[in-house]
Amino acid sequence: MSLDKEDLLRAYRMMKTIREFEERAHTEIMNGQIPGFTHLYTGQEANAVGICEHLSDEDAIISTHRGHGHCIAKGADVPGMMKELWGSSEGLCKGKGGSMHVADVDKGILGANGIVAGGPPISVGAALAAKIRKNGKVAISFSGDGSVNQGTCFEAMNLAVVLEVPAVFVIENNYYSEHTNISYAVGCDDLKARTEAFGFPVFEADGADFFSVYEAAGKAIEHARSGKGPAGVFAETGRFHGHFVGDPQYYRAEGELEDLRENSDCLKNFRARMADTGEISAEELDAVDAEIMAVIEQSVVDAKAAARPTPEQVTADVYINYGAAS
């Protein structure tokens, strides 16, 4: 699973895009430009990109309420996503999905999910479809450390084993289920081992290291694609913002956020790796940074100017008309 220079630049570009998309979203929300709850993925970018670098448009992902990063990593249109956050009828979901329900079926994004642990059962269904069609595709579900305590997640994992479907369960441990630390909320000391008890292999990764996630994901996805049934990826990394934008984060220890940004930043780690190997220069990465900042800025300009839904569009794409029986 070697990565050439083009692969490395693409991975960095994707992580940087997610980072700047989220940081700009945070700014605009705090300025009152974007309404509603938004849950930012900042700090966890290596997880999404390390996974999705192994996928094609035909592979499926099911995201979470913290789903911007997953969707961008899977190929969602960034200007379209920004318009979606602004509630524009030009957004990916015509302004009706918003932050927590971004979907793009053409890219294999079967939807972010506002229901905790709503994704794993959907991914098992998508994986079952892939198995029946014998097309070699996989279905990925992303879950947090809170999601994996839900019964729907347990049932999905068990069913995936029973049906031997090509599902990959990605567990992103960012240490907090909303505002509750994992040390209190989880009744075991090892989430990876608990997941393995369902009967499939789980590959562990450092969620702040793109290369670690990429390697673990490659093993899990190859296991699923080869017809051996489900697999898992377990990655730990903290989020740089609160559970939602505006969360006062009183549950954090003093200096915790500063430590995360200083010592667990996947972009800094990627740059350090490139400095060691010499595969990409700092100047080349700086050029990518400038490119991404321009894309994000233009996306915001376009989102602010984009059309808003009209009253006549309220019920469009909401109800299905199956037609009268002939």
Residue extents of the structural domains in the chain: 5-313
Helix (H, G, I), strand (E, B) or coil at 180: strand
Residue predicted with more confidence, 206 or 176: 206
Q: Which distant-in-sequence residues (6+ apart) come within 8 Å of 81 by Cβ?
A: 21, 68, 71, 72, 91, 92, 102, 299
Alpha-carbon dihedral of residues 10, 15, 16, 17, nearest 10 degrees? 90
Question: What is the per-residue pLDDT for 185?
Answer: 83
Mean pLDDT of the residues in the chain = 95
Q: Tell me which residue has tokens 């984009």.
A: 306
Give the pLDDT confidence of 20-61 residue by residue, as tens digits: 999 999 999 999 999 888 999 999 999 999 999 999 999 999
Residue predicted with more confidence, 219 or 320: 219
Question: What is the per-residue pLDDT for 183?
Answer: 83
Whole-prediction pTM value?
Answer: 0.95
Q: Tell me which residue has tokens 């059962």.
A: 121
CATH of region 5-313, choose from 3.40.50.970, 2.70.150.10, 3.50.50.60, 3.30.470.20: 3.40.50.970
Question: What is the per-residue pLDDT for 1?
Answer: 65
Determine the Cα–Cα distance for residues 40 and 48; give it in Å rounded to an integer.
Answer: 13
Residue predicted with more confidence, 183 or 70: 70
What would the mean pLDDT of 295-319 be, rounded to a whole number?
A: 94
> What Cα–Cα distance (Å) separates residue 229 from each residue in 28, 191, 221?
43, 20, 10
Question: What is the per-residue pLDDT for 186?
Answer: 84
Answer whether residue 325 shows pLDDT above 70.
no
What would the mean pLDDT of 281-303 be, rounded to a whole number?
A: 98
Question: What is the per-residue pLDDT for 2?
Answer: 84
Question: What is the per-residue pLDDT for 37?
Answer: 85
Determine the Cα–Cα distance for residues 90 and 101; give it in Å rounded to an integer.
Answer: 15
Q: What percent of the chain has pLDDT over 90?
A: 87
What would the mean pLDDT of 198-209 be, rounded to a whole number?
A: 98
Question: What is the per-residue pLDDT for 182?
Answer: 85
Cβ atoms 235, 206 nearer than 8 A: yes
Work out the pLDDT band at 310, boundaries 50, 70, 90.
very high
What distance lies between CA 252 and its chain's CA centroid? 23
Give the pLDDT confidence of 136-182 residue by residue, as tens digits: 999 999 999 889 999 999 999 999 999 999 999 999 999 888 898 88
Answer whether residue 324 shows pLDDT above 60.
no
Residue predicted with more confidence, 289 or 188: 289
